[in-house]
């Protein structure tokens, strides 16, 4: 019986097997992929949790640091919240605010990198807030501390610390280090704030894809990285921040193993199915197949006498005959070709015209790192894995009969680039028809890398900014680069074969070069600064690194010197030296250099037992010129003063500018006190001469204080302090003079300093109160108004004279606080008198020069009036003549604004200043007060009487009221009445008294003088 095993039967069998196998593989692939995704998401979640824990730990650490700092005393803040302390936390900045009752918070101190919009106070305390600043987003934390500011008043300190999220690379790098992620990106409102990404291939792509999708990206067989974006939960903070994380898991490898297991299971299933079908077919094909196998086995065993015995299946019989024919023809050639291909070092690959691979050797497997050659059955399998458009085109050309020689291709394999040169040749049969293609290659990767390294080295050599010089082992120059020519001016031809000593400047000793060559011989390298000479002859500094090069056997072959021109660096160092030690305006030594020279001069004087002197020079009324004519004229004046000081001293002496209009002079090698006095006199005369700037003729005098070593002190601190004391004594002596230090001056200065401290305590305790002196109409004998005068009793209840504490308050900047305190108490007293229905006219209060120029003056007065609900007509402002003349236009505006508020205006101490009548008529003045210095000798001195009469006559013609101060006897009162001055105040009528006593004093004056 003959049986034909048809292709239909075979196709049916294979289709069934492939269908079942495909179903199993598809199901297993899906399950493995789901497991991979779950594992990757779990890994990303763990990484995100680590990053979140680290960030919350750093936030808690920063918050506790801020809370700890907030608990310290005020005098400890400067040290505790230093820049170094901030570096230990996340904070980029810390701000401390102070807030009193019914007052806005004010910034007291701030540290770190602070922009304007970061100074805003947060809406809530004890929470982290995200706020927008000009430096980008910031994460800020704020806390509030209440403390006892005084006995009856509590204050509040607010501490705010924050750090910038935008471009905060140290933070994101630390988070990535803690979580061990390959990438982290901090995201807010769909915008990237800062990122930290590993340089490994594929990490950046996964991070960008996850940010674009705003969701998970899973790893693939080609990329082991996966990423996802999750919100960050901040302890005690609001939400909105997201963290994108990229990590890697073993998921891809697990997936491979799972998939391999599926393949094994599918293969087992197919084998079982095949065995079953084979068992069925075995009955039909057993005999024919057995005969064919016996024949094939005999051929394999080398049995030359065996012949094929035909069976019952036609196809097997045909195969047997073909095998029998081919065995004889191919037995010898096959083994030869196989051995030759396998033994070849070059990769060889051949395929037929249908693309079926017929030859593939071990060299191909090694070159392309192929695990199993059986995976490549067709040439398309090869190009699917190793995509090479040029190689594919050459193969297609070969199938059309065109050979390609020396085709260079490159491909990436596990991050490494390989280069191969191919020869692609068509295979032809005996009829010259193309039956296939053979490709033979040569791996040239190492050659290309060597060529690339040479090109790179050449490019770096020619284009680096540093000069490079190469010499042979004897020190003769064999090559230089372009930067060498640019720096030295020598061309390559100028120096080839020369010794580098042609560029020596001559500045260095022989010992210097011996030490340099010693390091080169012992250590193989030397680095340092050398002065050389350019081709032009110009000397210049350079930083040089010289290395000794040796071959594999250790023999010296070359020296390589790399150097850079540091001329600009030297100039910058010189400029920094100038900025650090010299005043930028005058060019004189500043305080730092002055202290250094003073220490040096003092040490030399102490060693040589010589005398020296310190002169403290302060310009008189410089502030008036600076404020009235502007800072430009003030700067020009300071420059000219510095020149005159230099002209007034000797070359061995030092002039320095300490600050503002304060200068110091160091006089050394003094022969006598007369020599010091001569220089001091020269300085006073020189600085007192007129100055001419921009059409202005200016007159400025100087007050000079002098201290001598060793009589007035043996330390720099004592000498400088005593010279300062002497300078203030010179000012008290009328300015424009010099004074030598005396111990009594120091005692006077200490007394004034003690008084100033007591005055500050008194202001803090609110023990300076107004007393009120009556203003009386001498025609009726009745009071018409009051003047509020500041009075102060010390801790023992003893009155302190205003003549003592008012000048000290002005000198130490306390007068504005005194005036503000008196104004508040006066308004409260007026409210009380109004509630009593007591008619008191108006109350005048004095404004100091500092208070008059205060930009908050009008708002302070308006606030005091509104808080106490009083009528402004009961207030009268007294301003001295000189105060208004400092800046006339500004004074007119301020007085007009006060007038518009309903207040009355008086000029106090009139006649003692330097006002012009043309200005006087422009001032919105209600009253002129004649200074008591003209009233004291009124009935005895005809000059005083004439001045008072003129003032009264002028006031009457201007329609201005007039008040005479300091009236103490009937004769003065009678004279004033005769010349038409009817309003007076003084001890003749009443001494100043407290507000509670005033109604009684008022009635007493009426009873005594009205009758």
pLDDT at residue 349, as a whole number = 79
Q: Can you give the pLDDT at residue 77? A: 55
**pLDDT for residue 679:** 92
- Residues facing 241 on adjacent strands: 188
- pLDDT value for 617: 94
Please enumerate in sequence order all residues whose Cβ is within 8 A of that of 54, keeping only pairs 6 or more positions apart, or say none. Answer: 174, 175, 178, 179
pLDDT at residue 782, rounded to an integer: 92
- pLDDT greater than 60 at residue 79: no
Q: How crowded is residue 562: how many other Cβ atoms within 10 Å of its Cβ?
A: 19
* 743 confidence band (pLDDT: 50, 70, 90): low
- Average confidence (pLDDT) over 980-984: 92
Report the chain's mean pLDDT, rounded to a whole number. Answer: 82
Residue whose entry in the numeric block shows the structure tokens 């308006």 = 862
Of 85-99, 767-781, 819-833, the range with the lowest mean pLDDT is: 85-99
Q: What is the pLDDT of residue 993?
A: 93
Instruction: Kindly report whether the global pTM for this prediction surpasses the value 0.85.
Output: no
Beta pairing class for 153-164 and 768-777: unpaired
In the predicted structure, residue 331 carries a pLDDT above the cut 70: no
Task: Inform me whether the pLDDT recorded for 316 exceeds 70.
Answer: no
pLDDT at residue 671, rounded to an integer: 82
> Poorest-confidence range of 30-44, 188-202, 346-360, 461-475?
30-44
Q: Average pLDDT for residues 455-464, to the nearest whole number?
A: 68
* Distance in angstroms (rounded) separating the CA atoms of residues 8 and 15: 10
Range ranked top by mean pLDDT from 353-367, 483-497, 739-753, 754-768: 483-497
Q: Evaluate whether 582-741 and 752-1010 have a shared fold.
A: no
Predicted pLDDT of residue 555: 86
Contacts 24+ apart (CB under 8 A), 463-467: 465/564, 466/562, 466/563, 466/564, 467/542, 467/562, 467/563, 467/564, 467/565
DSSP 8-state class, residue 122: P
pLDDT for residue 1: 47
Report the C-alpha gap between 677 and 648 in whole angstroms: 12
Give the range with max mean pLDDT: 191-205, 288-302, 448-462, 818-832: 818-832
Lowest mean pLDDT among 591-595, 905-909, 918-922, 923-927: 918-922
Q: Please give, one letter per residue, the 3-state secondary structure of 905-959.
A: EEEEEECCCCCCHHHHCCCCCCEEEECHHHHCCCCCCHHHHHHHHHHHHHHHHHC
- Whether residue 624 has pLDDT greater than 80: no
DSSP state of 386: S
Has residue 96 got a pLDDT over 60?
Answer: yes
Q: Which two tokens stand for residue 285?
A: 């094909």
Average pLDDT over residues 788-806: 85
Cα 551 to Cα 472, 554, 556, distances in angstroms: 13, 5, 7
Per-residue pLDDT, 80:
47
State the Cα–Cα distance between residues 961 and 982, nearest whole angstrom: 9
Lowest mean pLDDT among 111-120, 706-715, 785-794: 111-120
Q: How much is the average pLDDT of 825-834?
A: 92
Give per-residue pLDDT as tens, 6-18: 555 555 666 666 6
423-443 mean pLDDT: 83
Q: What is the pLDDT of residue 12?
A: 62
Domain boundaries, the chain: 168-209+229-248, 344-450, 464-571, 582-741, 752-1010
Is the pLDDT at 456 greater than 60, yes or no?
A: yes
Written out in words, the top-level CATH class of the domain with range 464-571 is: alpha beta
Nearest CA-CA partner of 532 in 497, 573, 563, 504: 504
Cα dist. 475→370, 515, 520 in Å?
53, 16, 12
Question: Once rounded to an integer, what is the mean pLDDT over residues 247-265?
Answer: 62
Percent of the chain whose pLDDT exceeds 90: 14
The pLDDT, as a whole number, for residue 29 is 64
pLDDT the model gives residue 663 = 94
Higher pLDDT, 430 or 183: 183
Please say whether the dihedral angle defined by the alpha carbons of residues 207, 209, 213 and 217, taken in this order, is positive or negative: negative
Query: What is the rounded average pLDDT of the residues 212-219?
Result: 84
- Name the least confident of 204-208, 393-397, 827-831: 393-397
Q: How confident is the model at residue 293 (pLDDT cuts 50, 70, 90)?
A: confident
Residue 985's nearest CA partner among 970, 966, 1003 is 966
- Integer angstrom CA distances of residue 530 from 507, 519, 521, 543: 9, 15, 19, 6
Closest listed residue to residue 874, CA positions, set 816, 788, 793, 794: 788
On the question of pLDDT at 795 being above 70, the answer is: yes
Return the axis-axis angle of helices 631-648 and 673-688, rounded to nearest 10°: 150
Least confident of 216-220, 453-457, 859-863: 453-457
| Confidence label for 255 from pLDDT (cuts 50, 70 and 90) | low
SS3 506: coil
User: Quick one: what percent of the chain has pLDDT higher than 70?
Assistant: 82
Residue 895 has pLDDT above 60, yes or no: yes
- Check residue 797 and give its pLDDT: 80
CATH 3.40.640.10 assigned to 582-741: no
Query: 644 falls in which pLDDT band (50, 70, 90)?
Result: very high
Q: DSSP states of 286-304 as a string?
A: HHHHHHHHHHHHHHHTT-T
Helices (H), ranges, 301-428: 314-343, 362-368, 379-385, 389-399
Q: Which of 253-267, 874-888, 997-1011 has the highest mean pLDDT?
A: 997-1011
Range in 81-95, 99-113, 931-945, 949-963 the model is least confident about: 81-95
Cα 934 from Cα 937, distance rounded (Å): 7
Distance CA 145, CA 152 (A): 17
What strands lie across the sheet with 106-112, from one edge to the other? Answer: 106-112, 93-100, 153-164, 136-150, 128-133
pLDDT(649) > 50: yes
Max mean pLDDT among 393-397, 447-451, 633-637 falls in 633-637
Half-sphere exposure of 221 (CA within 13 A, CB side): 8
Lowest mean pLDDT among 406-420, 766-780, 970-984: 406-420
Burial of 704 (0-12, 13-18, 19+ CB in 10 A): buried
pLDDT single digits (tens) 537-581? 888 888 898 988 888 788 888 888 988 888 887 777 767 766 667
Q: Residues 947-962: what's their mean pLDDT?
A: 87
Superfamily of the domain at 344-450: PAS domain (3.30.450.20)
> Residue 706: what pLDDT?
93
CA pair distance 142, 130, nearest whole angstrom = 12
Cα–Cα dist 314/351, whole Å: 30
When pLDDT is cut at 50, 70 and 90, the band that residue 713 belongs to is confident
Residue 186 structure tokens: 């901090």
Inform me whether the pLDDT recorded for 704 exceeds 90: yes
- Separation between Cα atoms, residue 983 and residue 683, nearest integer Å: 50
Q: Are strands 404-413 and 225-231 parallel, antiparallel or unpaired?
A: unpaired
Residue 769 pLDDT > 50: yes
| Averaged pLDDT, 488-516 | 87
Q: Is the pLDDT of residue 914 over 60?
A: no
pLDDT at residue 3 greater than cutoff 50: no
Contact 821, 766 (CB under 8 A): yes
Class of domain 752-1010 as given by CATH: alpha beta
């Amino acid at each position: 019986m003959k049986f034909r095993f048809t292709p239909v039967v075979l196709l049916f069998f294979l289709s069934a097997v492939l269908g079942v196998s495909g179903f199993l593989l598809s199901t297993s692939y899906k399950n493995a992929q789901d497991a991979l995704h779950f594992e990757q998401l779990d890994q990303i979640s763990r990484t995100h949790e680590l990053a979140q824990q680290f960030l919350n730990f750093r936030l808690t650490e920063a918050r506790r640091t801020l809370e700890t700092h907030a608990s310290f005393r005020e005098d400890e803040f400067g040290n505790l919240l230093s820049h170094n302390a901030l570096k230990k936390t996340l904070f980029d900045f810390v701000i401390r605010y102070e807030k009193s009752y019914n007052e806005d918070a004010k910034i007291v101190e701030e540290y770190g990198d602070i922009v304007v919009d970061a100074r805003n106070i947060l809406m809530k305390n004890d929470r982290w807030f995200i706020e927008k600043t000009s430096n980008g987003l910031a994460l800020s934390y704020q806390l509030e501390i209440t403390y006892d500011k005084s006995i009856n008043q509590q204050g509040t300190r607010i501490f705010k610390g924050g750090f910038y999220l935008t471009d905060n690379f140290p933070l994101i790098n630390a988070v990535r280090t803690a979580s061990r992620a390959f990438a982290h990106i901090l995201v807010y409102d769909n915008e990237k704030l800062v990122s930290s990404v590993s340089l490994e291939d594929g990490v950046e792509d996964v991070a960008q894809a996850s940010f674009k999708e705003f969701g998970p990206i899973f790893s693939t067989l080609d990329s082991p990285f996966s990423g996802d974006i999750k919100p960050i939960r901040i302890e005690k903070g609001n939400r909105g921040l997201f963290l994108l994380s990229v990590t890697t898991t073993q998921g891809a490898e697990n997936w491979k193993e799972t998939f391999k297991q599926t393949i094994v299971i599918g293969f087992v299933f197919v084998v079982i199915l095949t065995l079953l079908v084979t068992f069925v077919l075995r009955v039909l094909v057993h005999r024919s197949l057995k005969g064919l196998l016996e024949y094939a086995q005999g051929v394999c065993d080398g049995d030359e006498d065996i012949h094929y015995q035909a069976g019952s299946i036609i196809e097997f019989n045909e195969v047997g005959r073909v095998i029998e024919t081919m065995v004889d023809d191919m037995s010898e050639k096959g083994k030869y070709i196989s051995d030759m291909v396998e033994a070849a070092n070059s990769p060889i690959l051949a395929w037929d015209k249908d693309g079926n691979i017929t030859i593939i050797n071990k060299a191909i497997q090694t070159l392309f790192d192929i695990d199993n050659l059986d995976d490549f059955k067709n040439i398309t399998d090869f190009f699917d894995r190793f995509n090479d458009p040029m190689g594919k085109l050459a193969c297609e050309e070969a199938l059309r009969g065109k050979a390609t020689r020396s085709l260079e291709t490159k491909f990436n394999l596990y991050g490494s680039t390989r280069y191969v040169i191919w020869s692609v040749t068509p295979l032809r049969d005996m009829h010259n028809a193309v039956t296939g293609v053979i490709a033979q290659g040569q791996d040239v990767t190492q050659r290309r890398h060597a060529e690339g390294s040479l090109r790179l080295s050449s490019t770096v050599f020619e284009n680096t900014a540093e000069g490079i010089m190469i010499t042979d082992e004897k020190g003769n120059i064999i090559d230089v680069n372009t930067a060498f020519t640019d720096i030295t001016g020598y061309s390559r031809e100028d120096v080839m074969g020369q010794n580098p000593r042609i560029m020596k400047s001559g500045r260095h000793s022989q010992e210097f070069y011996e030490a340099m060559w010693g390091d080169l011989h012992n250590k193989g390298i030397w680095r340092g600064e050398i002065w050389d000479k350019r081709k032009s002859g110009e000397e210049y500094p350079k930083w040089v690194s010289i290395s000794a090069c040796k071959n594999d056997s250790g023999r010296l072959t070359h020296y390589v010197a790399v150097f850079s021109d540091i001329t600009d660096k030297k100039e910058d160092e010189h400029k920094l030296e100038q900025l650090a030690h010299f005043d930028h305006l005058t060019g004189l030594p500043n305080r730092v250099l002055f202290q250094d020279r003073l220490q040096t001069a003092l040490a030399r004087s102490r060693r040589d037992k010589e005398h020296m002197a310190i002169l403290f020079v302060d310009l008189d009324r410089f502030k008036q010129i600076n404020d009235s004519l502007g800072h430009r004229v003030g700067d020009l004046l300071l420059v000219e003063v510095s020149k005159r000081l230099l002209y007034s001293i000797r070359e061995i002496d030092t002039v320095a500018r300490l600050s503002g209009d304060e200068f110091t002079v160091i006089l050394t090698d003094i022969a006598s006190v007369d020599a010091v006095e001569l220089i001091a006199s020269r300085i006073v005369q020189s600085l007192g001469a007129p100055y001419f700037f921009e059409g202005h003729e200016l007159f400025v005098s100087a007050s000079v204080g002098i201290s001598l070593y060793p009589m007035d002190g043996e330390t720099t601190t004592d000498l400088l302090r005593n010279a300062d004391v002497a300078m203030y004594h010179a000012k008290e002596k009328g300015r424009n003079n010099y004074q030598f230090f005396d111990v009594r001056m120091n005692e006077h200065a200490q007394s004034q300093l003690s008084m100033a401290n007591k005055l500050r305590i008194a202001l803090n305790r609110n023990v300076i109160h107004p007393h009120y002196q009556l203003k009386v109409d001498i025609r009726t004998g009745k009071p018409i108004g009051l003047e509020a005068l500041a009075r102060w009793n010390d801790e023992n209840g003893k009155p302190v004279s205003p003549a003592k504490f008012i000048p000290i308050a002005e000198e130490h900047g306390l007068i504005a606080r005194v005036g503000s305190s008196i104004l508040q108490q006066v308004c409260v007293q007026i409210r009380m008198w109004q509630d009593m229905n007591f008619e008191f006219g108006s109350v005048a209060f004095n404004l100091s020069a500092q208070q008059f120029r205060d930009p908050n003056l009008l708002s302070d007065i308006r606030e005091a009036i509104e808080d106490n609900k009083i009528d402004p007509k009961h207030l009268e402002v007294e301003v001295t003549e000189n105060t208004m003349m400092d800046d006339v236009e500004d004074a007119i505006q301020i007085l007009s604004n006060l007038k518009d508020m309903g207040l009355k205006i008086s000029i106090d101490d009139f006649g003692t200043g330097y006002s012009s009548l043309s200005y006087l008529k422009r001032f919105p003045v209600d009253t002129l007060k004649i200074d008591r210095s003209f009233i004291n000798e009124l009935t005895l001195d005809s000059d005083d009487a004439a001045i008072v009469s003129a003032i009264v006559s002028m006031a009457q013609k201007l329609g201005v009221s007039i008040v005479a101060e300091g009236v103490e006897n009937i004769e003065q009162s009678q004279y004033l009445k005769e010349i038409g001055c009817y309003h007076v105040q003084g001890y003749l009528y009443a001494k100043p008294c407290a507000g509670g006593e005033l109604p009684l004093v008022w009635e007493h004056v009426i009873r005594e003088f009205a009758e």
